[in-house]
Amino acid sequence: MSHRPIYLDCHATTPMDKRVLEAMLPYFTEYFGNSSSISHVYGWEAEAGVKQARQILADAIHATPEEIIFTSGATEANNLAIKGVAEAYFSKGRHLITVQTEHRAVLDPCHYLENLGFEVTLLPVQQDGLIDLTQLEKAIRPETILVSVMAANNEIGVLQPLAEIGKICHQQQVLFHTDAAQAIGKIPLDVQAMNIDLMSLTAHKVYGPKGIGALYVRRRHPRVRLAPQIQGGGQERGLRSGTLYTPQIVGFAKAVALGLETQASESEHLLQLRKSLWSSLSELPNIHLNGHPTQRLSGNLNISVEDVDGSALLLGLQPVVAVSSGSACSSTNLGPSHVLLALGHPESLASASIRFGIGRFNTAAEITQVAKQAIATIASLRRSLTLRRQ
């Protein structure tokens, strides 16, 4: 078997935890029934698996099981939340607020709504990636129906102040949606304490399977109305029709449960690895940390490197480490990261960035090896640039 590079791209996806796979397997072969077919034992078995999973996910965010709507992932959940609110509340207003650094799964639905006559305010971020709460408060109007702010940024790992944002939104009677795809199972989430009305979730960022996610939809104080985006059999309270993928749902819940069990210790483990990597890399001159130094995901390290070509840097790292320069969902876009441009970086610096996504199964020895390769690659590229300039 050929040598495979060290995987440090856990914001793109995570390897499935073997315990998650073990939980899923019986639902492919033994408990294979349709959870909507409740006239016989096969349907009851599948329904029981879905019910238990829904309870686990609800408990994880301090919701009720009825408020969990299963989707194919966070992208669908974001679309259902944003378009669903826009269609259900358009008579109240046609103004939405989001942030320049959001994932494309939020920005693109918002741009779609603009083509339909809605108005979208894109809030800027400060140099550390955090929004200015005063700017948010000033941006809210009588016709504002939704504020959407990501919990944890997929590129720079910055954690936005959800509780403060939720408080502002509820004081102004505006719905608050957060894309928590990168946050679930990694940081504490409480939809009640944080005044969150809609929350998008996914499994594959937390060592679960791809192709399954969920949308939390508040049922009380206030009761959130949504226009479904997929019609059909009326599953999921009529908000998302389609046969439920029971094995994926069971795996999603198992992944989140495992994340919650070890949240504190795993966060500390990742933090120590991140500190070790940054300590080594920061010894080089003209290396910039992107995002808030501490208010970020423990396993996220995003840097920009002066005096190197971004593509050459990625190529030089490839034999040893699998990383990316930004969002995996925008990997076909060769332009600089919209997130780093929003931080105020020039295009040259935004294009020469590396996102290290450290995960559960990484070791201190791997981080040492990655640091050595990165330092050697950056030094080599800079020497080559100096020679070309002479």
Q: Which residue bears the tokens 């908000």?
A: 239
- As given in the structure block, the two tokens for residue 215 are 């949308």
Non-local (6+) Cβ contacts of 295 within 8 A are 128, 130, 158, 159
The question of whether 329 is a catalytic residue gets the answer yes
Q: Which residue bears the tokens 């479904």?
A: 228
Total Cβ atoms within 10 A of residue 243: 13
Catalytic: which of 10, 110, 169, 329?
Answer: 329
Non-local (6+) Cβ contacts of 171 within 8 A are none
Q: Whose CA is closest to 168, among 201, 200, 131, 128?
A: 131
Is the CB of residue 149 less than 8 Å from the CB of residue 178? yes
Q: Could you please report the per-residue DSSP string of 270-334?
A: HHHHHHHHHHHHTTSTTEEE-S-SSSB-TTEEEEEETTS-HHHHHHHHTTTEE-BSS-GGGTT--
Three-state secondary structure call for residue 58:
helix
Is the CB of residue 154 less than 8 Å from the CB of residue 200? no
Instruction: Taking the CA atoms of 42, 43, 45 and 50 in sequence, report the sign of the dihedral they define.
Output: positive
Phi/psi region, residue 307 (left: phi>0; alpha: psi -120 to 50; beta: rest), is left
Q: What is the dihedral of CA 342, 347, 352, 355, to 10 degrees?
A: 20
Of all helices (H) and strands (E), which one includes residue 69?
strand 68-71
Is the CB of residue 359 less than 8 Å from the CB of residue 301? no
Burial environment of residue 357 by CB neighbours within 10 A (0 to 12, 13 to 18, 19 or more): buried
Would you name the residues annotated as active-site residues? Answer: 329
